[in-house]
Structure 1
Amino acid sequence: MSDQVKEFRDFRSKMNERILSQDNLVIKRLFNLDTNTYQEGALPVKTKEMLGLVASMVLRCDDCIKYHLEKCYEQNITTEEIMEVFSVANIVGGTIVIPHTRRAMEYWDILNGHQ
């Protein structure tokens, strides 16, 4: 695992634990809703993760993009499929999404061992 991937995962885990340790009911419910949203349902997990990636790119949240790229990787989504996801995100979000697409491509390459 690359240092970038490990650093992202470690920070996310550490801060999630810190936030949840505060025992705020609203935040705990929000985290739970997020987890349950991406479970298998009428739509397969793979589709939901690709939808999450598009939304994250359009909203320009680099942490969210990395998270959904990792989940897409776990779902064995191909680079060809990722490129189509990037295409949808850029059409919906406009050219302001291009810098996020660059960083997303870089992280996707890292996940796939193409550093």
Structure 2
Amino acid sequence: MNEKIKEFREYRSAMNEKLLAGNNKVIKRIFNLDTNTYMEGALSTKVKEMLGLVSSMVLRCDDCIKYHLEKCHEQGVTNDEMMEIFSVANLVGGTIVIPHTRRAIEYWELLHEK
């Protein structure tokens, strides 16, 4: 596994553990809502992850972008689909999203390395 991917996953996991260890009811409920939102429903998990990625790009959250890129990769999103996702995010979010798209492309490529 690429070192950047490993580093991101380990950091995210460790910090989520610390956050949840605070045993705050609201934080736990937010995490639960997040988990339940991305489950299969009227929309497929794949579509929901693509929507999450666009939203994260428009909001310019690099950690969220990486997370949703990983989930899109797991869901079998193709390179062509990913370019359309990037197109929607840049149209909706404007040119300020371009730097995040550059980093997203870099991370997407890392996810495809064998």
Q: Tell me what 2:83 maps to.
A: 83
Paired residue type of 2:90: N
Aligned-partner Cα distance in 1 for 2:12–2:50: 20
Q: Tell me what 1:21 maps to.
A: 21
Aligned-partner Cα distance in 2 for 1:99–1:44: 29
Q: Tell me what 2:67 maps to.
A: 67
Q: Tell me what 1:112 maps to.
A: 112
Structure 1 outlier segments of 4+, above 2 Å: none
Q: Tell me what 2:37 maps to.
A: 37
1:49: how far off? 0.2
Q: Tell me what 1:92 maps to.
A: 92
SS of the counterpart of 2:39? coil
Paired residue type of 2:70: E
Aligned-partner Cα distance in 1 for 2:69–2:43: 18
1:103: how far off? 0.1
1:76: how far off? 0.7
Aligned-partner Cα distance in 1 for 2:59–2:100: 10
Paired residue type of 1:8: F
Aligned residues: 114
Paired residue type of 1:39: M
Percent identical among aligned pairs is 71
1:106: how far off? 0.2
SS of the counterpart of 2:83? helix
Q: Where in structure 2 are there 5+ consecutive unaligned residues? A: none
Aligned-partner Cα distance in 2 for 1:79–1:107: 13
1:27: how far off? 0.3
1:11: how far off? 0.4
SS of the counterpart of 2:15? helix
1:105: how far off? 0.2
Q: Where in structure 1 are there 5+ consecutive unaligned residues? A: none
Per-residue Cα deviation, 1:38-69 (whole angstroms, up to 9, x for no partner): 00000000000000000000000000000000
Q: TM-score, normalised by structure 1?
A: 0.98
